[in-house]
């Protein structure tokens, strides 16, 4: 059997009535990641060394900025910026020769090389994020145990079959990983069941979002909302995963 630290949260997420239990898990990991970065991680020298080098993505910087106490974030930014500056200073040194260099026959690629180096460094900075990395790592474990339980645990399979499916991001992750985590014919059976479920759930969402648009026609003002009232947020969450602005 798979480790309980992963099976329990996955099972619990599937007890919830929601558009994507994997998003529920991810949302929790994200909140914990932000809290940890601004709290306990401040006292972890290893984490600080890594976070000085890697930093955070735009989404997670903005989540950290939303926290009321700005001091932990300022300390993180102070040391991270210092490291970014030293990397950029190095690049400044290596491009110094370009100031006076003439693009001769053999040297014509110097500027091109420097431009590549700078863009690579900045791309790495933009993409690397301590919180994203940790979340991705745990989500892969969750996806693996979900697939394993679907194939080996009838009680979980029943929960999965009764669920409202997943968002398209997690649909992709399940489709990508199912042959790795499920052995034999069951992988194909899972894929067939998954796409059938997703299509049925997207039909349901389509009905809701369409009904929502119809409510704006004065002739339909007395029409019952039914399940359509929060259709816009649920449609976005189904297509793109959970959005933070919609909370509470």
Per CB under 5 A, residues contacting Zn ion are 20, 22-23, 57, 60, 129, 131-132, 167, 170, 241
Residue spans of beta strands (DSSP E) within 17-105? none
Closest distance between Zn ion and the C-beta of residue 192, in Å? Answer: 20
CB burial of residue 83 (10 Å; 0-12, 13-18, 19+): middle
- Is the CB of 22 or the CB of 146 nearer to Zn ion? 22
Whole-angstrom distance, CA of residue 63 vs CA of residue 33: 10
- Is the CB of 60 or the CB of 211 nearer to Zn ion? 60
Neighbouring residues of 53: CB distance < 8 A, sequence distance ≥ 6: 83
- Residues 53, 121 contacting (CB under 8 angstroms): no
- Is the CB of 26 or the CB of 208 nearer to Zn ion? 26
- Is the CB of 48 or the CB of 164 nearer to Zn ion? 164
Supply the angle between the helices 58-65 and 130-152 in degrees, to the nearest 10. Answer: 110
Closest distance between Zn ion and the C-beta of residue 25, in Å? Answer: 9
- Is the CB of 17 or the CB of 217 nearer to Zn ion? 17
Q: Residue 226 — left, alpha, or beta (φ > 0 → left; ψ -120 to 50 → alpha)?
A: left
The HSE-up count of residue 110 (CA atoms within 13 Å, CB side) is 16
């Amino acid at each position: 059997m798979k480790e309980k630290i992963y099976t329990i949260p996955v099972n619990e997420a599937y007890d919830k009535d929601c558009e994507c239990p994997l998003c529920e898990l991810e949302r929790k990991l994200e909140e914990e990641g932000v809290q940890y970065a601004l709290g306990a991680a401040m006292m972890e020298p290893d984490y600080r060394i890594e976070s000085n080098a890697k930093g955070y993505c735009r989404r997670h910087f903005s989540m950290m900025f939303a926290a009321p106490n700005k001091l932990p974030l300022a300390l993180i930014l102070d040391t991270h910026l210092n490291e970014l500056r030293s990397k950029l200073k190095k690049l400044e040194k290596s491009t110094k020769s370009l100031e006076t260099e003439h693009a001769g026959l053999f040297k014509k690629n110097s500027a091109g090389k420097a431009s590549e180096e700078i863009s690579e460094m900045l791309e790495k900075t933009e993409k690397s994020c301590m919180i994203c990395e940790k979340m991705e790592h745990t989500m892969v474990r969750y996806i693996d145990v979900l697939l394993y339980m679907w194939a080996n645990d009838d009680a979980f399979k029943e929960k999965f079959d009764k669920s409202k499916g997943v968002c398209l991001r997690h649909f992709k992750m399940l489709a990508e990983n199912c042959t790795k985590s499920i052995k034999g014919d069951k992988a194909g059976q899972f894929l067939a069941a998954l796409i059938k479920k997703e299509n049925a759930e997207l039909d349901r969402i389509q009905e809701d979002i369409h009904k929502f648009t119809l409510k704006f026609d004065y002739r339909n003002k007395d029409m019952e909302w039914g399940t359509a009232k929060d259709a816009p947020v649920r449609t976005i969450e189904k297509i793109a995963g959970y959005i933070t602005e919609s909370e509470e």
